[in-house]
Amino acid sequence: MADKPTRVGARLAPVLHRFIEMPPTRDGKPNSYDDIVRKTTIEPDTSVRPSRAQEQEARDGHRALDVDERVLHDRVMSAIAASSVGSSGLTVEVSRDLVTLRGRVPQAAMLRTLEDLVARVPGVETIHNQVVIG
């Protein structure tokens, strides 16, 4: 019968022991692969941590806009800024002809006005309105 399979580390430890100058354990047996890795691998530098904003950006991901999307984004932002709604507290994301609106407006009438403004911008086909009132 075949022997029971052993862990890879147990089979490699004697081989690695020849190449890495590691003293054997107290009982004279060579170190396991895991022990060798633990003793020779440098710990990552944990002194520099990302800020909460950087962590959120990493979760959300970043997608660069192409030229057409940048033009559409600028058109939408200028239309919103020129209106009574104003662009403070609003974010606009553009993906091809899809415009996603996020943020807050104080009144329901401003929400309807915002949607109408964006719908009239040339190049906008679809609007995902995620703006909340309050």
Say whether pLDDT at 1 is over 50. no
Tokens of 100: 């996603």
Provide CATH 3.30.1340.30 ranges for the chain: 67-133
What's the pLDDT score for residue 51? 81
pLDDT in tens, 7-64: 555 666 555 555 555 566 667 666 777 777 777 776 655 567 778 888 877 777 767 7
- This prediction's pTM: 0.53
For domain 67-133, the CATH class is alpha beta
Spell out the residues 6+ positions from residue 114 whose beta carbon is closer than 8 angstroms to its own. Answer: 80, 83, 85, 90, 101, 105, 129, 131
What's the pLDDT score for residue 117? 92
β-sheet with 98-105: strand ranges across = 90-95, 98-105, 126-133
The pairing of strands 98-105 and 126-133 is parallel
Which H helix or E strand runs over 99? strand 98-105
What's the pLDDT score for residue 58? 77
State the chain's maximal CA–CA distance in angstroms: 84
Say whether pLDDT at 2 is over 60. no
Say whether pLDDT at 6 is over 60. no
Q: How far is 73 from 95, CA to CA, in rounded Å?
A: 9
Say whether pLDDT at 125 is over 70. yes
Tokens of 78: 């200028």
